[in-house]
Amino acid sequence: TASVPPKYKLGFPCLLQKINITCLLKVARRLSLIKHPQCSTLSGGQAIELLAKDGDRMKVSFTTPMGQIYDCCFSFAGLRNEVTRTIMKKEAEEGIEQGTLLSCVNDIAAATQHTVAAHLAKRTHRAILFCQANGLLPLSSPTLVLSGGVASNTYIQKALTIITETTGLRLLCPPAKFCTDNGVMIAWNGIERLREGIGILPPNVGVFYEPKAPLGLDMTAAVKAAAIRLPSVRIKIPS
C-alpha cells in the first residue's frame, strides 16, 4: 500500500547529481530540438521520446552508467557528458555549428533514451532483488509504482515492465496527466507524515531545516554491502 510513508528507502529514490528527466531535458537543449518542426511545442523529454521512435539506437553507442557499482543509486552526469561529446563530434563531422540540427538527431535521441531506461531498469532490478531476499515486499500483489515526470515516458515504462515481469511484480503508472513535477509528491509525503505523526514537531520547538525529506529508513549501505549482481535481462523494446 502507498497510504502511509514507506518503512524503507533503499537508495534508489536518492538520485546522484541529476535525475533522468533533467538529463533528457539537457540533451534536448544541446541538440536544439526546439528548432525541430516536430518539437517546437514539446518539452525536452517529450521531444526526445518522439524523435527516438524514428531513430536507430544501435547507430550510436552510450555506456550505461555505474555498471560496476552494485547499489541502487542513479547518476546521469557521466551519460550527459558522453552524449555531449558525441554531439560535438557529429557537429564537427557534418561541418555545422552548435545550434544547428544534426542529421542523426533521431539516432542520438533513441540511444540516449534507451541508455537512461536501461540504467533505471538495472538499478530498480537490484532494488527488487534486495527486497525479495530480505522479505521487504508484501506476499500478495507486490507492486512497483512509477510516478513523477519519468512515468510519462512510455519507453521507460516498457523497460520497467520487463523488470517487473521478470521478478514477479506488477507495474503501476498513474495517468499521464498526473505524471508531473515531483513537488506534488514531496508535498504528499508531508501530508502522510503529518497523518502518521512522523517527524512532526510541536509549535514551541525550534525548527531546523534539512535539504532532504527522507521517505523512510535509509538502507543504501545495506544494499551496497549486499553487492547483488544482476542476472542478464535483455531490455529489448519494439518500436
Higher pLDDT: 201 or 57? It is: 57
In this structure, what CATH number is given to the domain that contains residue 66?
3.30.420.40
Give a yes or no: residue 1 inside a domain.
no
Report the percent of the chain where pLDDT is more than 70. Answer: 86
CA distances from 230 to 26, 148, 225 (A): 29, 26, 14
In a domain, 164, yes or no: yes
Q: How far from 17 is each of 23, 76, 120, 168, 218, CA to CA, in Å?
A: 10, 7, 14, 31, 18
Residue 232 lies inside a defined structural domain of this protein: no
Average pLDDT, the chain: 86
Q: Domains in the chain: how many in total?
A: 1
Indicate whether 194 belongs to any domain.
Answer: no
Q: Which of 38-47, 139-148, 225-234 has the lowest mean pLDDT?
A: 139-148
pLDDT number for residue 61: 92
132: domain range? 8-187+214-226
pLDDT tops 60 at residue 228 = yes
Q: According to the model, what pLDDT value does residue 21 have? A: 66
Q: In the structure, what pLDDT confidence band is assigned to residue 187 with cuts at 50, 70 and 90?
A: confident
127: in domain: yes
The reply to whether 233 falls in a domain is no
Residue with more model confidence, 181 or 85:
85
Least confident of 39-43, 52-56, 97-101, 218-222: 218-222
User: What is the predicted pLDDT for the residue at 89?
Assistant: 97
Distance from C-alpha of 152 to C-alpha of 156, rounded to nearest angstrom:
8
204 occurs within a structural domain: no
In this prediction the pTM is: 0.83
Nearest Cα neighbor of 189 from 218, 157, 212 is 212
Q: Read off the pLDDT of residues 22-39 as tens digits, 9 standing for 90 and up.
A: 889 999 999 999 999 999
Q: Give a yes or no: residue 192 inside a domain.
A: no
